[in-house]
Structure 1
Amino acid sequence: MVTNFTWYNWNSSTLAVSYEVLNNVTDLNESSTTEEPVDPHQGSGEPYTLAESIIIGTILSLFIFVAVFGNVLVCVAVFKDRRLRHRTYAFIVSLAIADLLVALLVMTFAVVNDILNKWLFGPVFCNIWISSDINCSTASILNLCAISLDRYIHIKDPYKYKTFMTKKMMVIMISTVWILSLTLSFLPIHLQWHRNAEDRYKPLPENLCVMDLNPVYSVVSSTISFYLPCIIMIIIYVKLYCAARSHVKEIRKTSFHMPNGGKGGGSGSKDHKAAVTLGIIMGVFLLCWMPFFVVNLVEAFCKCVPILMFKILTWLGYVNSCLNPIIYSIFNKEFRNAFRKILFPDSCKCVRPKRNGYAQSSRTTSKSLISKSEYIMQSVENGNRRDCKEPLCAEGTPL
């Protein structure tokens, strides 16, 4: 190869300009390789317009309001209504607290992050936000596992349930749920185990907060916090539902030989309804969270999930936090009555029955009425009273 130096030297100014351009191109290439990490979930298109931001923000804020209001209502109902002070409802309160934390610690900041397409709350709170997301979703499904186990033992062997499910055991189970959830979320995230080895301890850009998980952590965390508990929960529920059905059949056979057809099927009917309600809660939970966890595994390996799909499936999981109170109010009569008393305290009032057209003295009859279950509840609608379906006032109902 022949090199002609005399040709390059005939115009020194041209050579200087070419050398400067070459340096600029080299510097540009080097800066492109060392620039801040790119958000794998960005590139979702143009930023939202003002109208789009208002509409999306209103809808997502409505989800947050329903989740906060509904789950607070569940907690208040359990603490105020004496008929809900059962050990099973302690697990329901724990589930409601997990859903409430999803709304307050996760959904609230996710609205701002998704609408503005940037993180405004700093890198430290970014780790707390991601950890809270993993922690609350894990606590939800583990609480559902605890509820399934509690109901199964109660239906399978009520006598064993009384000796097994003591207050101490209940506290141990709920504590285990939350400790395990915290261990699977806050510890790995703050130790940077969820990131690749070469990116570990590298600070993220200030305006970026994404759940960028390496394949190992994604598989392990998803298996422990979702897939394995789901399998266990489904197995327990199938056994629970079969036990509830057999329990109802046995009670019906027994009541068939009782005088007047027997009316002792209440317990079996309650067990069956409890199993159905629990099944609906589990089904809704799986419907909301299963797509996200499937896509989350795919994203950990291929980094190919569109941002819009990832956001929609994430919010589908968040919506589950506001659905459980709605399910309780529709399918659980005890919760429905408790909600009605809290929201409409004047709709049902205790009235004293009249004898011979005169109301009895409250001082002389209150104890006897309560002991003989003679109190009735009446609701007031447009000035007219009609009998409530609920037979007793809360004050006259034993624990």
Structure 2
Amino acid sequence: MNELPFRGKACWQISDTTNSSLHVIQSLTVEECIKATIVLLITIAVIVLNTLMIVVLHSKNYSRYLRDLPKILMTSLSLTDLAVGILVTPISLISIVKQCWPWSPTVCAIEALLIAALFHESTLSLLCIAIDRYICIIHPLRYHTLMTKKICYAMVSLSWFMSFSVYAILIYPNAEYRYDSNGIMSCEPFYEKKLIIILATTLFFIPPAFTLVYCYIKILRVAHRQIKNIQKCPSNAYSTIQGYDNIRKFNVKEKKKTYRILVTLGSISVGFLIAVTPWTLTELISSVWKVNLPSNVEFVVTWIAISNSFWNPILYGLLNKSFRSVAYELISRFLFKNCLTRIIANSFIFNNRFHNRNSSPNSGRVDFILPQTDGSV
């Protein structure tokens, strides 16, 4: 078995008696139980909320509120976060419960790539959304030329390809990864050279962060100014034209709707920066200056960053009334359908038992009696 730079224990380094399931569960401390519960709740929230987000985005009732291009980009972001809840956080949960790394070095290498690539794919997805909205508001006449479906799909594909290919090049040639039992509770990239750490931070965090801030400040200012200009439109000869006032009100309404969507998307970006910046700084400090932070600090900072994977649906629901109403409608329909199906099934079982009990009172089992025929019609 190849050895890895473990920051903790691998399960094959522990005796079979110590590594038994019963012994592991009994030996969990209160702190480890709390950490396991937090990771479990985050995993459930990420999977459930991002699944709901994807379903609502592609529902017929919500299609009239969101155009195709933002829908594609938002779906890519939700799929990234959903992949974190399916492929990353459950591995951490198992590692916490077992108190060691239970799989081979190959799985460790794959997990290190997944956590790094998916984490920064979220950054690039938010960047693509910001660029799309920037072009839509700042250059509205050129929007349909600059942003087509082909270009949108190309942006999404390129962001996924860049995230995985760059980190594969950084991680795999020299096995730049480790198992960390303090923060992520799983395998993560670990670079020996400071230059690689600075390069990774520079490429995937600092430029996107500044671009997000610039784009949303710019487009919110322009959108706010456009709404004011429409509302202050002076009465002139054109105002006497029939329907002019209705057109003006419609334009104000559309601009306000666009403004609310921008506020929502901007809030998602701000939430991402708030959640991720402390983790990025701690990773940079601990790697470059070789400073070992307290394990609880690492855990809190790391899992606040990972929990951002379920912040997006919550922020979108809180700030977007249309999304909230469609989500509520879908959830109510799903629960009503399940309840109705269960009621019908229970009533059918009850009627069947009642019928059999009356037809064969002395029998303890259910018999289906078919009528005998003599061959005649």
Coarse TM-score class (shorter-chain normalised) = 0.7 to 0.9
1:70 aligns with 2:70: no
Partner in structure 1 of residue 218 of structure 2: 239
For structure 2, the residue ranges without an aligned partner over 5 or more in a row are 10-25, 337-377
For structure 1, the residue ranges without an aligned partner over 5 or more in a row are 1-35, 196-202, 349-399
Partner in structure 2 of residue 280 of structure 1: 267
AA aligned opposite 1:299: S
C-alpha displacement of 1:231: 1.3
1:307 aligns with 2:295: yes
C-alpha displacement of 1:255: 7.7
**Distance of 1:324 and 1:191 partners within structure 2:** 35
Instruction: Describe the superposition over 1:249-296 as per-residue Cα deviations: whole angstroms up to 9, x where unpaired.
Output: 122122877576952311211122122112211111011110111111
CA RMSD of aligned residues (A): 2.9
Partner in structure 1 of residue 314 of structure 2: 326
Query: Against the structure 1 CA distance between its residues 124 and 288, is the aligned structure 2 distance closer, same or farther, given a 3 Å change threshold?
Result: same
C-alpha displacement of 1:40: 4.8
Partner in structure 2 of residue 185 of structure 1: 167
**Distance of 2:328 and 2:102 partners within structure 1:** 40
Partner in structure 2 of residue 340 of structure 1: 328
AA aligned opposite 2:271: V
Contact 1:41 1:306 in 2 (8 A): no
Partner in structure 2 of residue 267 of structure 1: 254
TM-score (ref. length: structure 1): 0.69
The number of equivalent residue pairs is 301
Instruction: Describe the superposition over 1:25-57 as per-residue Cα deviations: whole angstroms up to 9, x where unpaired.
Output: xxxxxxxxxxx7774578xxxx97354444332
Instruction: Describe the superposition over 1:364-398 as per-residue Cα deviations: whole angstroms up to 9, x where unpaired.
Output: xxxxxxxxxxxxxxxxxxxxxxxxxxxxxxxxxxx
Partner in structure 2 of residue 119 of structure 1: 101
**Distance of 2:38 and 2:122 partners within structure 1:** 23
1:176 aligns with 2:158: yes
Q: 2:176 aligns with which of 179, 194, 219?
A: 194
Partner in structure 1 of residue 132 of structure 2: 150
| Runs of 4+ displaced beyond 3 Å | 36-42, 47-55, 114-117, 207-211, 255-262
Query: Against the structure 1 CA distance between its residues 306 and 213, is the aligned structure 2 distance closer, same or farther, given a 3 Å change threshold?
Result: farther
**Distance of 2:179 and 2:127 partners within structure 1:** 36
AA aligned opposite 1:222: T
**Distance of 1:218 and 1:186 partners within structure 2:** 14
Partner in structure 2 of residue 166 of structure 1: 148
1:90 aligns with 2:95: no
AA aligned opposite 1:77: V
AA aligned opposite 1:309: V
Query: Against the structure 1 CA distance between its residues 127 and 72, is the aligned structure 2 distance closer, same or farther, given a 3 Å change threshold?
Result: same
C-alpha displacement of 1:129: 0.6
C-alpha displacement of 1:209: 4.1
Q: 1:316 aligns with which of 304, 307, 324?
A: 304
1:294 aligns with 2:294: no
Query: Against the structure 1 CA distance between its residues 295 and 54, is the aligned structure 2 distance closer, same or farther, given a 3 Å change threshold?
Result: closer
TM-score (ref. length: structure 2): 0.73
Contact 1:100 1:321 in 2 (8 A): yes
Larger Rg: 1
C-alpha displacement of 1:112: 2.5
Contact 1:41 1:210 in 2 (8 A): no
AA aligned opposite 1:277: T
Query: Against the structure 1 CA distance between its residues 48 and 248, is the aligned structure 2 distance closer, same or farther, given a 3 Å change threshold?
Result: farther
**Distance of 1:208 and 1:167 partners within structure 2:** 37
AA aligned opposite 2:165: T
- Structural mapping, 1:205-216, within 5 Å: 209=187, 211-214=189-192, 215-216=194-195
Contact 1:277 1:332 in 2 (8 A): yes
Percent of aligned positions with the same letter in both sequences? Answer: 26
**Distance of 2:179 and 2:323 partners within structure 1:** 46
Instruction: Describe the superposition over 1:3-37 as per-residue Cα deviations: whole angstroms up to 9, x where unpaired.
Output: xxxxxxxxxxxxxxxxxxxxxxxxxxxxxxxxx77
1:132 aligns with 2:114: yes
**Distance of 1:183 and 1:222 partners within structure 2:** 16
Contact 1:39 1:208 in 2 (8 A): no
